[in-house]
Amino acid sequence: MARKPGDRKSSGRGQRDLKVKVKTARGRKLSSTRWLQRQLNDPYVKRAQAEGYRGRAAFKILELDERYRFLVPGARVVDLGCAPGGWCQVAVPRVNALGEKSGKAVGRVIGIDLQEVEPIAGAELHVLDFLADGADDQVKAWLGGRADVVMSDMAASSSGHKQTDHLRIVALCEAAAELAFDVLEPGGTFVAKVLAGGAEVGLQTLLKQRFDKVANVKPPASRADSSEKFVVATGYRGRPVSDPGTAEPEA
């Protein structure tokens, strides 16, 4: 019988975790072999498989929420670039999207991606380019109002050039933040992945103007050799009145 995400299964006594070694096959690059070996030996990959999550990234949002508590019952959540769906899997039970927690408010989880994503019970998954004109209005229409949380684990396709990749992901994060400014309720939360490298300073400044608190976090599930980190911005204040042509969020 398939297990729900988060279910645990004891490995039993006497079993040992043995490191898997991968030989470089003919025609396969050494870097690919190293990646495969790392995946096979990654404890978070193993946990994701054991607990029913679609990827190890699920543990990143789990760890961030354990610390900042933004996925609460009744929260309305928008997951940008949601494929393969691990973050939505985490959000559904925490916001009580299925109504399984008696006496608790029922939340909503909206997942958005450029491609179709395999269905997730309790999550509403849509194909949408969040950069397109009117995307913010479409998101609010699906929600029937504004969101309490906008989160993004998106990363631009790797070019192999570190600084270029850094600039691309910062630009993507800035675009996600702009959508968040349009759809978040006052007091809402924005969570997004960035890569350390210097260009994110402008993003940090912008977020500090719009939110009460902005934290930069590297959760334990984020690999030590990765330059990724996450911004967690809480207490959305709304767009300033000086923003031309932009209305304040509705109360």
Q: With bands split at pLDDT 50, 70 and 90, how would you rate the model's confidence at 158?
A: low
Going by pLDDT thresholds of 50, 70 and 90, the confidence category of residue 8 is: very low
Work out the mean pLDDT of the chain and round it to a whole number: 83
Query: 144 a known binding residue?
Result: no
State yes or no: 153 annotated in a binding site. yes
- Whether 115 and 224 share a structural domain: yes
Q: What is the pLDDT of residue 241?
A: 67
Same domain (yes/no): 112, 195: yes
26 is a domain residue? yes
- Residues 69, 94: Cα–Cα separation, whole Å: 10
**pLDDT tens profile 73-111:** 999 999 999 999 999 999 999 999 999 999 999 999 999
Residue 230 lies in a domain: yes
- Asked whether residue 195 falls in the same domain as residue 103, the answer is yes
pLDDT at residue number 225: 80
| pLDDT at residue 18 greater than cutoff 50 | no
CATH value at residue 108: 3.40.50.150
Token pair for residue 75? 């929260």
The catalytic residues are: 193
Residues 121, 178 within the same domain: yes
pLDDT at 179 over 50: yes
In-domain check, residue 14: no
Q: Is residue 200 in a domain?
A: yes
The answer to the question of whether 142 is labelled as a binding residue is no
Is 70 exceeded by the pLDDT of residue 247? Answer: no
Q: Is 113 annotated as a binding residue?
A: yes
Q: Is residue 3 part of a domain?
A: no
Residues 26 and 68 grouped into a single domain: no
Residue 8 tokens read as: 């645990």
Please indicate, yes or no, if residue 69 is contained in any of the structural domains: yes
| Lowest mean pLDDT, pick from 2-11, 102-111, 161-170, 212-221 | 2-11
Q: Are residues 212 and 102 in the same domain?
A: yes
2 in any annotated domain = no
Count of structural domains within the chain? 2
Return the percentage of the chain with pLDDT > 70, whole number.
76
pLDDT at 240: 74
Q: What would the two tokens of residue 171 be?
A: 């630009």
Determine the structural domain holding residue 33 and report its residue range. Answer: 22-51
One-letter amino acid for residue 183 of the chain? V
